[in-house]
Amino acid sequence: MIKVAQCWDDGVYTDIKLTEILRKYNAKATFNLCPGLMADNAVKPHWHALDECGWSYQGFHGGRLGKNDLLEVYKGFQVASHCMHHEVAAQCDIATFKAGAVDAKKYLEDLFQRECPGFAWPCGGATEEAIEVLKENGFAYARTCENTTDVTKNTNPYRLASNCHFQDGRFWSKFQEAKANGVGAFYFWGHSYEMMDSPGLWQQLEDKIAALSADPDVVWVDVIDLVR
């Protein structure tokens, strides 16, 4: 048996399509959300115009889910704090980081009426001072962007590493290595906007989820199950 966990960042509109795929194959996932970046109503994905300002992924903006959509879109999935406004620990003062991390946790717990003990470091950046803040405020883990060959040997849950990004060219070889070596767990992450509006990229992702779900040795788990 090998436990498989996945998480997805930012709370973008393209998560709607992603959650439909995950439900189709009964796959668990954790979604790391930034409530402060969301308006009440959704902003749909679009390609940036030449004169449009703001961040995009290769010219594609993944949109934003509206706060009014969160309960329906993420029903049945785990949610976790990704800070209110994607505050990066190493780029802001500790009080600003604490407010971002904790306020997002409280917002999600109030909205979903359940514990939200998870955290994903915005831009993957962790600091020791920020780790202490998370420990003091009820967080059980914090995911980085670092990779490891054995997620069961993460010695510090506040610097939690995954096996790989979902588009890693060695995704399947890393999974097979973890399985063959009896590691016991495999963990990947990403952003749904990275598939943009490409049918081919979305199909690649669906094929991964389908193959994992069809593997009799795979048991889908939540990220929190890797640390508790």
Are the beta carbons of 113 and 131 closer than 8 angstroms? no
pLDDT at 224 (0 to 100): 98
53 has pLDDT over 90: no
* Domain harbouring 110, CATH code: 3.20.20.370
**Which of 62, 15, 22 lies closest to 43, judged by CA?**
62
Domain of 128? 2-227
Greatest Cα pair distance, the chain, in angstroms, is 52
Which pLDDT tens digit goes with each residue over 4-16?
999 999 999 999 9
What is the average per-residue pLDDT within 15-31? Answer: 98
33 has pLDDT over 90: yes
Which pLDDT tens digit goes with each residue over 59-113?
999 999 999 999 999 999 999 999 999 999 999 999 999 999 999 999 999 999 9
Which pLDDT tens digit goes with each residue over 119-169?
999 999 999 999 999 999 999 999 999 999 999 998 999 999 999 999 999
* pTM for this prediction: 0.97
Which pLDDT tens digit goes with each residue over 171-205?
999 999 999 999 999 999 999 999 999 999 999 99
Give the separation between CA 71 and CA 33, rounded to whole angstroms. Answer: 12
User: For the chain, what is the domain count?
Assistant: 1
Give the separation between CA 15 and CA 215, rounded to whole angstroms. Answer: 24
What is the average per-residue pLDDT within 13-37? Answer: 98
